[in-house]
Every structure is written in structure tokens, then in C-alpha cells.
Amino acid sequence: MDNFCVIDQDGGKVKVTCTANNGVRANVAVGVYKHHPTGEWELVEQLNLVTGDDGEDAKEVVTSPSTLIGKFITWNVNFCAFVPGAIQSTITIKFSQDGVDLPTTEPTKKVVSDPPKCQNGQMGNYSDKLKFVAS
């Protein structure tokens, strides 16, 4: 079953935010896709988010909210712990519009125990998607 995010098609731009806590950094590839009846996927827009020392990054989706209805957004998060003692982290992907967090039908976060260490060249991965629907 698909995960859904309800947006106001007449509202402002949708913002995607990634947070990673407890000494973990994340690099996120975000894609907006149209799924054709033939089964083909067409990339409509691409974003990249990188959490730094503050553990957060956010970008607005350029595609208008009315055009986003029925489209999918995917995220592929590569992450690692830059603090040697990191034992657990939560990586969250959030969506907001006009300053208000948008609900999703399924959680868009991953709790990571013993995250891979950056200094060892190791990376973890978290990928998922959801579909935008009108309010």
C-alpha cells in the first residue's frame, strides 16, 4: 500500500526537510516522479539535501502543488556517524506547506542503532516514497 501525503493544491510550495540527530550526517537524493499507466516512471524534479553540524537541511519543491497531486516523491538517504560514540540516531523526512507540517499515512523516519562510522568509510541507507494527494 502506498504512503500518502495530503497537500493543499492551492497553497504555497511544499518543503522537504531531513533531520538526523546524535552525531549522524545524511545526504539525501530526492526525486519527484510521475507514474505512467504503462508502468514507466518519469523524473519531474530532483533535489539534494545534506545535513551538516546542525543536523538539518530543507529545500522547497519547485513543482507547483497543483501539479504535484498524483505524483510520487522518493528519497534515498545515505548516512554515517561522524561522532565515534554515536549509538543511535533518528533520520526523519518531513513535508510542510505554508509553515505547517503535512500529515503522512505512514511514518517517514528510521531509527538506526549503531550507525555506520564515517571515518571507516561506511554508509547506511534509508529509502522510501509517498504519493501526494489533494486535501
CA distance 126 to 50: 14
- What is the percent of the chain with per-residue pLDDT over 90, rounded to a whole number? 93
CA distance 28 to 94: 12
pLDDT digits (tens, 9 = 90+) for 55-90: 999 999 999 999 999 999 999 999 999 988 899 999
Q: Which structural domain, as residue segments, surrounds residue 28?
A: 4-134
pLDDT (0 to 100) of residue 2? 85
CATH number for the domain harbouring residue 87: 2.60.60
Number of domains composing the chain: 1
Phi-psi region of 7 (alpha: psi -120 to 50; beta: other; left: phi over 0): beta
Residue 19's nearest CA partner among 47, 54, 46, 62 is 54
Q: In this model, does residue 1 exceed pLDDT 70?
A: no
- What is the percent of the chain with per-residue pLDDT over 70, rounded to a whole number? 99
pLDDT digits (tens, 9 = 90+) for 93-117: 999 999 999 999 999 999 999 999 9
pLDDT (0 to 100) of residue 53? 84
Average pLDDT over residues 125-131: 97
Average pLDDT over residues 116-122: 92
Average pLDDT over residues 31-44: 95
Average pLDDT, the chain: 95
